[in-house]
Structure 1
């Protein structure tokens, strides 16, 4: 561990600034969060993309959202095979332990993971085809969906549709978890599919009735 280094100075300065202002002004609230534990209203499965700020989009407070982030906001299907499943573990904890009542999958525009999947499907990303690529094997979850967007000529529109397919894929895979299906059917848990246009600041909601995304 000798290669581990202290934080960069700019992050240290930002921390001290937050401790002197944001924390100091809300000290009682933070201490209550620490003593009472977490009771989030919802879980959000979002992309790792640094431009997607879940807290800002929804104006959420600390303790309100249980957030899990991964490449392209994907959820794998239920597969209790004994291997490591970080996303599945996060979903299990949120639903079974924290008992969230809402579970949101949030996709976004300009997703690099989605573009990588498209490039793989078109034969333009041999590095992702390598079985040793963690990103490539993760994006295999979405790969079958390329057939639904293959004929879209405009690259930008094709990417956007694939981003939305990622949200739908995750929603469908969530329903393969027995305890999620049970809670959804009992009215104890609601699933939501969302797509955010980063540049426009817009948010769209998936409608299973129409099979399309509509502005919120």
Structure 2
């Protein structure tokens, strides 16, 4: 495969540092995970954004979280149409095979995907409207929620509110999956909506009764 290249030196050096320290000090735990398999208590669906570091936020170790990342932490509606559905496949595996007890949607501030959707809704992103734009077609999932924030005049505040609507949209779409609706109904699975402020380190949780995000 001629186009593949060796790992950059800085990454190779970081790997060797990890192997000599973190791994060496926890060999028994890593081998136990390998031998006994994973038993995560929660699945987290977060954004691909490199600034969102799920395990750091919650101080999690290997084996604790089953993590899936995509643009703007979105969940599509249940569509068993035979096409490729990476996010839906990850959710199915987490809920039906791993039997996670919690499924968390984690949104964040300054989300580029959400801003792109805003730009599309305002007619400012023709490149995302193009049929061949994977990002644009993915953000179509969120478009219907724009009416809820369309009248917000302050751009930063509009983005924050829309980022939280992305979390709400994903939670609503999760409930269109029959196996999720069933697990929620019988109490074996709970859904959670979170939003984190990257700059301030804040974390807010969606309240079931009010539909508002409140500090954790």
TM-score for both structures, normalised by structure 2 = 0.99
The match for 1:11 is 11
Residue 134 (str. 1) matches residue 134 (str. 2): yes
Partner SS state of residue 169, structure 2: helix
CA distance in 2 between counterparts of 1:99 and 1:193 reads 19
CA distance in 2 between counterparts of 1:22 and 1:98 reads 26
CA distance in 1 between counterparts of 2:129 and 2:191 reads 32
User: Where in structure 2 are the equivalents of 1:49-88 lying within 5 Å?
Assistant: 49-88=49-88
CA distance in 1 between counterparts of 2:144 and 2:172 reads 13
Partner SS state of residue 135, structure 1: helix
Partner SS state of residue 211, structure 1: coil
Deviation at 1:70, TM superposition (A): 0.1
Deviation at 1:123, TM superposition (A): 0.5
Deviation at 1:13, TM superposition (A): 0.3
1:1-50 CA-partner distances (Å, limit 9, x unpaired) = 20100010000000000000010011111011100000000000000000
CA distance in 1 between counterparts of 2:53 and 2:142 reads 23
Structure 1: 5+ residue stretches without partners: none
TM-score for both structures, normalised by structure 1 = 0.99
CA distance in 2 between counterparts of 1:208 and 1:188 reads 18
Partner SS state of residue 6, structure 1: coil
The match for 1:93 is 93
Structure 2: 5+ residue stretches without partners: none
Partner SS state of residue 195, structure 1: strand
The match for 1:43 is 43
Partner SS state of residue 26, structure 2: helix
- Across the aligned residues of Structure 1 and Structure 2, the Cα RMSD in angstroms comes to 0.4
Deviation at 1:211, TM superposition (A): 1.2
Deviation at 1:208, TM superposition (A): 2.5
The match for 1:173 is 173
Deviation at 1:185, TM superposition (A): 0.6
Deviation at 1:207, TM superposition (A): 1.1
Partner SS state of residue 107, structure 1: strand
